[in-house]
Structure 1
């Protein structure tokens, strides 16, 4: 049955906020009414029954006038009637709507939820994700309810990363793709956990907002490696980075394994450096022998940095280390760009060239071993890795002046 509306704004404005002695409840139609106090305060109510006429009537508030206009009150009434037709209690449904509106999940809430509940335990580069979100998304989208954001809003953020901001920052198309991928994973996680729901960027791909990172095959030449080693030895770089680069060259470790390394990982009695699972990209222990020829240097470094606990004397942010490492090739006037990660590839290539078995090289690098060998063969090949590193240090010594 179609509700016949009876109330008007003209009537309600006349009594609003003024002494009132008329009927306290006036029907508008379709079970919608207003309650009017003696002081002229007006509130909308919806009267209904659950289960038929044999049940007691119930009342639910639909808001106050004029904050809730006649048009809005009637729309709420119609929604209540729909809920009743579906066997749902309007009081319960309205309370759920209020909770949802009050606790609307913002973009920042959703991304932080993924960072805390998932990425912290499952992503080794969680700090990088958080820094990218904080720099590129939170200032522009962070405060908005996730479900109300639009694709153009997200695309503006990705374009800002890709093209740079008013020439203040270089364009970074690869970073734009990385932020998209992390954001999509975060929103999917939120949906699965029923924390928040949004499909706004689901159909975007990396190539829509930036580009994929090129596969790298950069290996330093003997001359380039000679330059790096000698500049490290003569203190050309800042002390922190000289020590970092030297350890990267010697062990072929990942930058984060050294950046996060503490002296508790280094056992000079057994001659082993054990990278804990929490610092390992593969979430597995990485055990590397410590070449005896670098013992004196390491022990001197420990005396200097032991108080901090960190092998490098302090904990720098991954972004700062990456930025500095990416500029070393320019400082040395090398023609072709290389990064700190390319030192790992250089060690792996040189060891393979001198006949070190591939699986030993993989173990030194801390790669996961695939197939049956990775499941059943738990050997650390300490002796073989020791021989490999000794041969590698002999090559390094030859490259030194």
Structure 2
């Protein structure tokens, strides 16, 4: 027996036809790509089936021709009233494709064109497309020409509330796509460059993990269920020790560690310069073993990704909520400051780009000083963790 149509059940229905028990003749046809409302009724000796509209999800974009259950029943009632009165049936509801290319189709087309052209930027393309599709998930079915500057500002501000840096990164990713779309006449214009970026300026995070929180997270890391989850757990521990970015840690391969030193090339980090770190034993303990070309924290098919789902599991296991991966970096650097390590050394450990004239004249790598700073922090972290440091994942 098929499920009864309700506003709650519709989003989870599998493929098939679902008649509405309250409105005779009305049914929802669930296909692979869309959900279509149809009405079957009789005119004289013949039966007809008309398309009334389309169901576009729980959060349909503003301006879309979404038809929910209540709207479908009303449309069916009106159609039957017209038939009974002898009024000719209305024209068939416009298919979503007739409204032009959707954002989802636009992104697919851009990605194919970009991959075909190749060249600079290919390394970050998968990450960029994942981010744009995830952030604009509620708008993917909306015709690209209907996506407005108001929609963009709404999404920008929503992301900036919890992830200010991602907000700016998203604007950069989308701006590149929309520039191409405007050049190819898929949209009238690219308004992304004219939209203010609010990222880190809107919300400045100050979260530093407490000793109790560090202990709870560290203890929960080896309790992750899957092999990928356990790799993620080792990565979290590693980042707390070395204060590097999660993207850099996830890209780390065993061959990048030589004599206990982690070498990042210019193309391997955000600062665009070579970065050499002498790792303390507490960090090396998290790397495991493998061939030179294998990732230290492997995912199912290569580099580890999908951090958000693993973090949700870790939050539940540890009981620590509201922290972000970048807070590990802030926690480590703040504790190094408490250990009286000089600020410019901490900056070098974090591999911050040197701004202004200094970036032109100061090129020292300070490898030994960075190593000593990390070693000092690792010793202090081991004291905070107590006996947990013997529990290597």
Whether TM exceeds 0.5 here: the answer is yes
Quote the residue 1:130 is aligned against: 129
Q: 2:340 aligns with which of 355, 374, 381?
A: 355
CA contact (8 A) 2:223 2:230 kept: yes
Alpha-carbon RMSD across the aligned residues, in angstroms, is 4.2
CA 1:117 to 1:212, structure 2 compared with 1: closer, same or farther past 3 Å?
Answer: farther
| Alpha-carbon distance, 1:389 to partner | 1.1
Structure 1 residue 285 and structure 2 residue 270: aligned? no
Distance in structure 1 (CA, Å) of the matches to 2:358 and 2:167 = 38
Quote the residue 2:111 is aligned against: 112
CA 1:211 to 1:140, structure 2 compared with 1: closer, same or farther past 3 Å?
Answer: farther
CA contact (8 A) 1:206 1:212 kept: no
Distance in structure 2 (CA, Å) of the matches to 1:366 and 1:212 = 21
| Alpha-carbon distance, 1:373 to partner | 2.9
CA 1:176 to 1:372, structure 2 compared with 1: closer, same or farther past 3 Å?
Answer: closer
Q: 1:368 aligns with which of 335, 353, 360?
A: 353
Scaled by the length of structure 1, the TM-score of the pair is 0.55
Q: 2:189 aligns with which of 182, 187, 199?
A: 199
Deviations 1:353-383 (A, max 9, x none): 1111111111111211123332222211111
CA 1:365 to 1:115, structure 2 compared with 1: closer, same or farther past 3 Å?
Answer: farther
Structure 1 residue 218 and structure 2 residue 217: aligned? no
CA contact (8 A) 2:220 2:317 kept: no
Quote the residue 1:391 is aligned against: 376
Distance in structure 2 (CA, Å) of the matches to 1:298 and 1:172 = 29
Q: 1:400 aligns with which of 378, 385, 388?
A: 385
Deviations 1:192-220 (A, max 9, x none): xx555742535873699x99862211110
CA contact (8 A) 1:162 1:172 kept: no
Quote the residue 2:26 is aligned against: none
CA contact (8 A) 1:119 1:126 kept: no
Scaled by the length of structure 2, the TM-score of the pair is 0.56
Quote the residue 1:249 is aligned against: 240
Distance in structure 2 (CA, Å) of the matches to 1:206 and 1:181 = 12
Within a 5 Å distance, the mapping from 1:2-401 to structure 2 comes to: 107-108=106-107, 111-112=110-111, 121=120, 126-134=125-133, 136=136, 139-140=140-141, 150=145, 152-154=146-148, 179=170, 181-188=172-179, 196=185, 198-199=188-189, 201-202=191-192, 205=195, 214-232=203-221, 235=223, 238-268=229-259, 271-292=260-281, 295=284, 297=285, 301-302=288-289, 305-306=290-291, 309-314=294-299, 315-316=302-303, 318=305, 320-325=306-311, 328-334=314-320, 336-401=321-386
Q: Larger Rg: 1 or 2?
A: 1
CA contact (8 A) 2:279 2:375 kept: no
CA contact (8 A) 1:250 1:393 kept: yes
CA 1:202 to 1:251, structure 2 compared with 1: closer, same or farther past 3 Å?
Answer: closer
SS of the residue corresponding to residue 287 of structure 1 reads strand
| Structure 1 unaligned regions, length at least 5 | 1-105, 165-170
**Count of aligned pairs:** 271
CA contact (8 A) 1:274 1:285 kept: yes
CA 1:207 to 1:360, structure 2 compared with 1: closer, same or farther past 3 Å?
Answer: closer
Distance in structure 2 (CA, Å) of the matches to 1:120 and 1:331 = 43
| Structure 2 unaligned regions, length at least 5 | 1-104, 387-393
CA contact (8 A) 1:177 1:212 kept: no
CA contact (8 A) 2:208 2:330 kept: yes
Distance in structure 2 (CA, Å) of the matches to 1:288 and 1:254 = 13
SS of the residue corresponding to residue 400 of structure 1 reads helix
CA contact (8 A) 1:162 1:173 kept: no
Deviations 1:221-273 (A, max 9, x none): 111112222333x54563212211111011111111111111121102xx310
| Alpha-carbon distance, 1:157 to partner | 7.2
CA contact (8 A) 2:171 2:192 kept: no
CA 1:351 to 1:185, structure 2 compared with 1: closer, same or farther past 3 Å?
Answer: same
